[in-house]
Structure 1
């Protein structure tokens, strides 16, 4: 499968598309009934809720399209022109206002506020069917749009390597520069950069995974080394400057919007875009966009000839549910996957991926270091870095496979108190209060962020006083994520977990702080103890309850599953299974699957 197909329509579509109803067979009576009921329910309840939220937060929906053929051609990335027109008509009839980027920037500057219900149309890749089929519809409805151009595709046609894995892409024709000029001059379509030649994958690790070129340190298989950070910065900046100059040459206007291929960006890429004159970044993160910030604009991916029922459900109701999606997770370390033999290691990884898919979770907590020794010292890791020995370059591959194959969020476990180095035959833990150690810790996790994207960070094994929180915030700022990942703290003492959690919430180090990972009561707790535990947790916060299942028997797992069900009835929804040994036992896996799986809920799919 080509990089384009693998990234855009395997991983991202699983995460962003209208998969909420995918538990029903396409075209079945159950599917039709469910979508109609959901749309009706959204119309009755969701519209008012979304309206109030949009008014309060100056938020708007950004729709992301790609190919818009005259008739649906079975390309899973396409929406037919009649369907596209129906969607715009539906938005108009429901009171949604079409925005231009100028409208957003005016609201950001304190001018005219955005309407209560509003949306922005974006179309990626520069296909000619946009000019032939979508542009006339946009003119008919007077709907502005942002059109992302890949310079090399316009100049040279489809990329040969990508064409080999994607027959629909191989058959595409791209807009001509006169067509681009006509649309730009209309004032209805704003041209954005989609890179000159970054819309492909590059080798990202020794296992030969290909990952987005704009955000990946390229791995040289012959030299067995990664490109330098300076080389990556120059490679990306040169590409963006070339495409911006090309667009300006043919339209007279230099683009101010960067639409990142595959929606993937980080701090390094965003700095390059800003240097090329594009401070506005469009991604494929989920949720509504806010007029308060154009640094990173989330978009909702539309494709697969989505039905109007599903489209209406998504627009009116899905986003209002996003903030309430439960976290159902499993914590794994890489020791159980690592093997000196590459083939055996790959087999182990494949088996773990299949088992996690069966478990039905939407999140995986990854431990990036080798399980500590008895004294708690972390001396080896699974990612390249300057200071610590690397047992194997494995973290990137596992994280990438989890995202691209399963569509789950990956939360990275960060431990700063137990990192240790050998000095004169002795083991010494790094201490962030010592300037030299502080810089080492910054560099270790900076190196991690360069090779492994993450949707969240969990600080564990650390005290939670003010100095630690300040250090953690500085550490996050040294990492190369453009949007700071969601931050959680792990509290490993359930006796006073409630007090610790309350203190953390009160003194949250920054606005990306989401909650705490708290050890759940032991398996043999009775209902009274569970009720007291749930009652003492801070209300209206994300309290992720962690259940240790290491060496647990069938009977113990059944009790844990019962406890989870009881805690659900107490209003708790976020759970982590700590340990992966049970995955090899079908009976044990089935017990926990029934307790935490999201597959049993037809309105939520794994990865959603």
Structure 2
């Protein structure tokens, strides 16, 4: 995968989250009172953010050229010299105060306080334009900046080229050491490592996909195996050591930061950087942050598509908290097929449907449940505990991200695993009074906690995911595990929350900043006393997770009046703290009571309109039958698209 293709995939995912929802259903406004309240809150947050002395805005630039097209330039990360100068002028005129990386480090240590509206400019890749176009403007405005250079590109031999996207780049397209020395001597420019040779993709699975080298255990076609954890970390360590050594040798200073290529990093690679003296790292998610002791993963606003002042102002001021989630929950069991050709056709169908519908998120099944009993018989990624049905999750997730432009969250059970060791499985199984109950493991047994934590860690190291959806198997009846589980319903609820947070930390070793979503049955929302039967509670979930996906499924609950049932559910959610802002209403698209008969599309549309008119911000549905195209792509687009009008992107 080229520099441009990986960056383009990342840009599409970032931009999707920032789109205003403008479809007839996807953009129905919340009631005026709620909208006004959100607007006032957003204005207050913005004022606090702009006046707070401990806040930092970081902007991420790449190339700056005179000949960049107004929109649609072949290099989406290039900014015109005119627009870049206008950005500096606007920032200066609106009270932004430039700071250096050294200032940020001192602020983190309590040695100084950042000024109000502090801004740090960063420039990735070490292109020649940072010397010819950026540096003169930095001197004119007296703005400091951080330059992140790929040392292997600075040293690129005359006869070699780099595939930078719109064209092949040569030695003359990158900054030289002499130019870096001159900029550093000015006192305005600090140099960061951008790796030596990690700004590339490596083969990430047997199907041949490529992913960023810094976070991927490489698949060897010759050896037919993945790198071991030790081999992978040693490769990263050797590369980062080479980059640091070159910077020290040529510039006489040791870099304090590493800008990971494509903002792809994890806690283990950050630990390597820390030991080499580079304790500051950067992300490409978010815009502002409060500076504390930990300077890992500083949020940066990625500047792309040659933004004008109006574009930049919108990005800085609009409240992303108001962006809605539109999610399709997808069974990977429908993609899997023993016949590789049929499996490839199934995958193409899925990707094409997601491209056409345009959801913001896909909740992708990472476990195999061919018997449909709700517990995992196998997994779709290499792991230490269960059989691997196929090494498929990483491939499908990465295809959805890069080809269909949606964020992918891994959907996994919490307790519902059928262990291959039947003796151990029987020892750990929760003994339920209902033989039809989902097979689950005892979360209070240390063996269960270790097994499931390893599954989540193996998921994270095996491939791409931006978040976790905890399956609806995470419940605990009041007659189960008596004498082991807490008797009080709230205590059992919290115990399961604590377990899922352990799992998030296990996955977070390899995937930082994971977004968490937890499935919730409707009964504890509509009848709070039923928490004792589920160990689930909406307020507790919305406090613990980024989102709660409430199962807004009236047919599953045998409701005689589905719309009235849904209205009652919305009112209950409204009454809960952070209810509408953190709750995803997950609709059902089939009636499982009647041989999985499809819910009529017009009824789904009416229900979605009513939900949004009542203030619901986030919608999802399950199942999304991409094989049979049910609900139809046209209906799915109308209800579940996060894309602006017109519906289709060219």
* TM category, shorter: 0.7 to 0.9
Contact 2:539 2:577 in 1 (8 A): no
What SS does structure 2 have at the residue aligned with 1:215? coil
* 1:457-536 mapped onto 2 (5 Å cutoff): 457-460=468-471, 461-463=473-475, 465-479=493-507, 480-494=509-523, 496=525, 499=528, 504=537, 507=540, 513-522=545-554, 525=561, 527-536=563-572
TM superposition shift of 1:297: 0.9
* 1:89-238 equivalences in 2 (<5 Å): 89-110=89-110, 112-157=112-157, 162-163=162-163, 166-167=166-167, 169-170=169-170, 173-238=173-238
Provide, for residues 396-448 of structure 1, a one-character-per-residue CA deviation record: whole Å limited to 9, x for no partner: 01111111223322112231311112335896444333333332222222111
Q: Secondary structure at the match of 1:422?
A: coil
Q: Retained in 2: the 8 A contact 1:157–1:174? A: no
1:544 to 563, 576, 584: 584
Residue number among 456, 461, 466 corresponding to 1:450 in the alignment = 461
1:357 to 345, 355, 359: 355
The CA distance in 2 between the partners of 1:3 and 1:158, in whole Å, is: 20
Does the 8 Å contact 1:432/1:441 carry over to 2?
A: no
1:75-113: per-residue Cα shift (whole Å, max 9, x none)? Answer: 322112222111111111222222212332343334544
Shift of 1:194: 0.2
Deviation at 1:560, TM superposition (A): 2.1
Q: Distance in 2 between matches of 1:294 and 1:574?
A: 32
CA contact (8 A) 2:358 2:640 kept: yes
Shift of the 110–601 alpha-carbon distance from structure 1 to 2, 3 Å rule, reads: farther
Aligned partners of 2:287 and 2:316 also within 8 Å: no
Q: Hey, what's the Cα distance between the residues in 2 that align with 1:485 and 1:471?
A: 16
Deviations along 1:544-592, one digit per CA (max 9) or x if unpaired, are 1111213665663321221111011111111111112166437733223
Gaps of at least 5 residues in structure 1 are 25-43
Length-normalised TM-score, structure 2: 0.82
Q: In structure 1, the residue corresponding to 2:367 is in which secondary structure?
A: coil
CA contact (8 A) 2:126 2:175 kept: yes
Give 2:321's match in structure 1, choosing from 306, 320, 323.
Answer: 323
Which of 58, 63, 68 is matched with 2:64 structurally? 68
- What SS is found at the alignment partner of 2:180? helix
In 2: Cα distance, 1:369 partner to 1:16 partner: 29
Distance across 2 between alignment mates of 1:137 and 1:521: 58
Superposition deviation, residue 168 in structure 1: 5.2
What is aligned with 1:339? Answer: 337
Q: Which residue number in structure 2 is paired with residue 27 of structure 1?
A: none
Deviates more, 1:196-205 or 1:492-501: 492-501
Contact between 2:154 and 2:171, CA under 8 Å: does it hold in 1?
no
Q: For the structure 1 residues 69 and 166, does the alpha-carbon distance in structure 2 shift closer, same or farther, using more than 3 Å as the test?
A: same
Q: Deviations over 1:279-320 (max 9, x none)?
A: 111121233233134211121111332233222222232xxx
Deviation of 1:451 after TM superposition, in Å, equals 1.2
Partner of 1:300: 301
Shift in Å, 1:497: 5.7
Listed as ranges, the gaps of 5+ residues in structure 2 are: 24-39, 430-440, 476-491
Give the Cα separation in 2 of the matches to 1:294 and 1:474. 23
Which residue of the other structure, out of 593, 603, 608, is the alignment partner of 2:637? 593
C-alpha separation in 2, matches of 1:245 and 1:148: 15
Between 402-411 and 170-179, report the one with greater CA deviation. 170-179
Q: Deviations over 1:213-254 (max 9, x none)?
A: 000000011221101001111110111111111111111211
Measure the CA separation in 2 of the matches of 1:66 and 1:227: 31
CA contact (8 A) 2:589 2:622 kept: yes
Give the match's secondary structure for 1:52.
helix
2:408–2:466: 8 Å Cα contact kept in structure 1? yes
Q: Which moved more, 1:283-292 or 1:125-134?
A: 283-292
How do 1:533-572 residues align onto structure 2 when only pairs under 5 Å count?
Answer: 533-537=569-573, 538-541=576-579, 542-550=582-590, 556-572=600-616
**What is the CA distance between 1:202 and its match in structure 2?**
0.4
1:13 Cα deviation (Å)? Answer: 4.2
CA shift for structure 1 position 270:
1.3
- The 1:408–1:45 alpha-carbon spacing in structure 2 relative to 1, beyond 3 Å, is same
| Number of residue equivalences | 582
Q: Is the 8 A contact 2:7 2:262 kept in 1?
A: yes
2:173 is paired with a residue whose SS is coil
Distance 1:231 1:224, change over 3 A: same
Q: CA RMSD in A?
A: 3.2
TM-aligned CA distance change 1:426 to 1:475, over 3 Å = closer
CA pair 156-222 structure 1, distance change in 2 beyond 3 A: same
Q: So what's the TM-score if we normalise by structure 1?
A: 0.87
* Alignment partners' CA distance in 1, 2:325 and 2:538: 18
**Greater displacement, 484-493 / 173-182:** 484-493
